[in-house]
Structure 1
Amino acid sequence: MRKAALFSLTLLALPLSAVSGTAAAKPPVVVELYTAQGCASCGEANGHVAKLAEKPGLLALTFSVGYWDYLGWADTFAKPEFAERQKAYAAKLALREPYTPQVVVDGAAQATGSKTAKVDKLVADAAKARRATPPDVHFVGERRVYVGSARAPKGGGDVWLVRYDPRQQDIAVKSGDNKGQTLPERNVVRDLTRLGAWRGQPVSFRLPAPSDDGLKTVILVQAGKGGRILAVGQPKG
């Protein structure tokens, strides 16, 4: 309790000029696309999520997975931690196994990414849904983030650092099921790091340096083990 009180006083004492990227009262709807460059049915989903990325009040993130690499093309953006994140969703949402293309909305609902009308409905429903008051997320400089107090879900939550490339990537696939095709990918996630636990009390984390120039940073506060996304924080500018 003493540590939490000291933290709160420290945060209140910070000059306003030092604090940026406060999470809005209503976080943006988070749309996660799980896709693969070797997936023959992923092109339409990639293109649709690229369009969703332009919409206000919505954060689209593209996670590439590598479990289709054996079909003849190694995905250029896939990392094991992205597939592990998708597996957690599969368990939470009672799916038999992960698949592509899959869209997960706010960590709470999912649809086949190529069923664009269903994806749009999930996004619209999430935007209208009433949510509990999220914890504030504050960035101080470029290397530290604070997550404030709020009611935590049973079992607490996790704080995730996501870094993604906001530019559209047009990937020319030279082998496998998509040989000869150019696949669009937008807001491609390059780094995913669990910073630590959040249990309703204020916590702070030091951020690692980005792996590449030009990446954007987002913090997701999320119920544990593939649960609902509770708060979203991004630096201003």
Structure 2
Amino acid sequence: MLMAAAIPFASVGQTWVNADAPATVVELYTSEGCSSCPPAEATLNALERSADLWNKVIPLAFHVDYWNYIGWDDTFADAAYSQRQRDKVNQGQSSGVYTPGWFINDQEWRGFFDRQAIPYANGPRAPTLTATLADKTLRLDYEGTQTLVANIALVAMNQTTEVKRGENRGRTLDHDFIVVDFAKKAGKNHWEYTLPSSLDISADAIAIWLTPPQGGDPVQTVAGWLDNPYPN
């Protein structure tokens, strides 16, 4: 049973539960300084209207900083996300570092360039993952037994940027599913993580996916909207 919507928790928090199959994690590496990125972001943004959002597909936009030098500093870029993409190349999950760069469950996907729809599907049911957020403390409880890495992303929606310079000069760019905070934490059945007390950009949703230590397909996922977006 999957409860995609948040459940009130002690009037000060939220709880999300997934006892079904894990969702497919879709990562897009993008930049406001890249002229070929807006169509890719539009494709990712369209998933907001999908009935499968959060329970079958988790879209994430990681903004990289390696195009900042060509005239425009990406509002949402983070050097850590550029390094995350490079790590995927080093681990054999991608043929190179480029934007727009797509990954489906940690593997490079080039179908976008052939105008293919974003692929996602549910596999078999997995042990239950429960995420509880209260007073900015996130607690994860998983009923499986293996040692895993909890990936935790805070996601911002409905952001607009008027680009003044660079390849997208004069364009107004619409962004959704922007990763504004990301963390990884190893563990087995239980994890606790303190979210930032505030963010430069308000987060509207949270996404959590458990993976083997070496990466790969998510073992279990849970995601959903935040009742009280950051910063407060």
Q: TM-score, normalised by structure 2?
A: 0.78
Does the 8 Å CA contact 2:22/2:125 hold for their aligned counterparts? no
Q: How far does residue 24 in structure 1 lie from its aligned partner after superposition?
A: 3.9
Alpha-carbon distance between aligned partners in 2 of 1:112 and 1:189, rounded to the nearest angstrom: 22
Give, as a single letter, the amino acid of the residue that structure 2 aligns with 1:73. Answer: W
Alpha-carbon distance between aligned partners in 1 of 2:197 and 2:115, rounded to the nearest angstrom: 32
Aligned to 1:8: none
Alpha-carbon distance between aligned partners in 1 of 2:127 and 2:176, rounded to the nearest angstrom: 27
Q: How far does residue 134 in structure 1 lie from its aligned partner after superposition?
A: 4.5
Alpha-carbon distance between aligned partners in 2 of 1:151 and 1:132, rounded to the nearest angstrom: 15
Match of residue 44, structure 2, among 32, 35, 49? 49
Aligned to 2:126: 133
Pair 1:223–1:23, CA change in 2 (3 A)? same
In structure 2, list runs of 5 or more residues that go unmatched: 1-7, 228-232
Give, as a single letter, the amino acid of the residue that structure 2 aligns with 1:53. Answer: E
Alpha-carbon distance between aligned partners in 2 of 1:225 and 1:87, rounded to the nearest angstrom: 15
Aligned to 2:103: 104
Alpha-carbon distance between aligned partners in 1 of 2:198 and 2:152, rounded to the nearest angstrom: 12
Does the 8 Å CA contact 1:101/1:112 hold for their aligned counterparts? no
Q: How far does residue 145 in structure 1 lie from its aligned partner after superposition?
A: 1.3
Q: How far does residue 184 in structure 1 lie from its aligned partner after superposition?
A: 1.9
Does the 8 Å CA contact 1:139/1:235 hold for their aligned counterparts? no
Alpha-carbon distance between aligned partners in 2 of 1:103 and 1:214, rounded to the nearest angstrom: 22
Alpha-carbon distance between aligned partners in 2 of 1:21 and 1:211, rounded to the nearest angstrom: 22
Alpha-carbon distance between aligned partners in 2 of 1:20 and 1:103, rounded to the nearest angstrom: 30
Aligned to 1:206: 193
Give, as a single letter, the amino acid of the residue that structure 1 aligns with 2:142. Answer: G
Does the 8 Å CA contact 1:144/1:206 hold for their aligned counterparts? yes
Question: Could you say what the CA RMSD is over the residues aligned between the two structures, in angstroms?
Answer: 2.6
Aligned to 2:155: 164
Instruction: Give CA deviations for 1:64-118 in whole Å, capped at 9, x if unaligned.
Output: 001011111111101112112222322334434211001211224422644431x
In structure 1, list runs of 5 or more residues that go unmatched: 1-15
- Greater Rg by CA: 1
Does the 8 Å CA contact 1:159/1:220 hold for their aligned counterparts? yes
Aligned to 1:6: none
Give, as a single letter, the amino acid of the residue that structure 1 aligns with 2:70. Answer: L
Alpha-carbon distance between aligned partners in 1 of 2:97 and 2:112, rounded to the nearest angstrom: 13
Q: How far does residue 127 in structure 1 lie from its aligned partner after superposition?
A: 0.7
Alpha-carbon distance between aligned partners in 1 of 2:173 and 2:111, rounded to the nearest angstrom: 18
Q: Secondary structure at the match of 2:121?
A: helix
Q: TM-score, normalised by structure 1?
A: 0.76
Alpha-carbon distance between aligned partners in 1 of 2:16 and 2:29, rounded to the nearest angstrom: 26
Structure (1/2) with the larger strand percentage: 2
Q: Percent identity?
A: 23
Does the 8 Å CA contact 1:81/1:192 hold for their aligned counterparts? no
Does the 8 Å CA contact 2:17/2:130 hold for their aligned counterparts? yes
Q: How far does residue 54 in structure 1 lie from its aligned partner after superposition?
A: 2.0
Alpha-carbon distance between aligned partners in 2 of 1:82 and 1:95, rounded to the nearest angstrom: 15
Q: Mean alpha-carbon deviation: is it higher for 183-192 or for 215-224?
A: 215-224
Does the 8 Å CA contact 1:21/1:139 hold for their aligned counterparts? yes
Match of residue 177, structure 1, among 152, 167, 188? 167
Report whether the alignment pairs 1:78 with 2:69. Answer: no
Q: Secondary structure at the match of 1:150?
A: coil
Match of residue 219, structure 2, among 200, 206, 230? 230
Alpha-carbon distance between aligned partners in 2 of 1:185 and 1:43, rounded to the nearest angstrom: 9
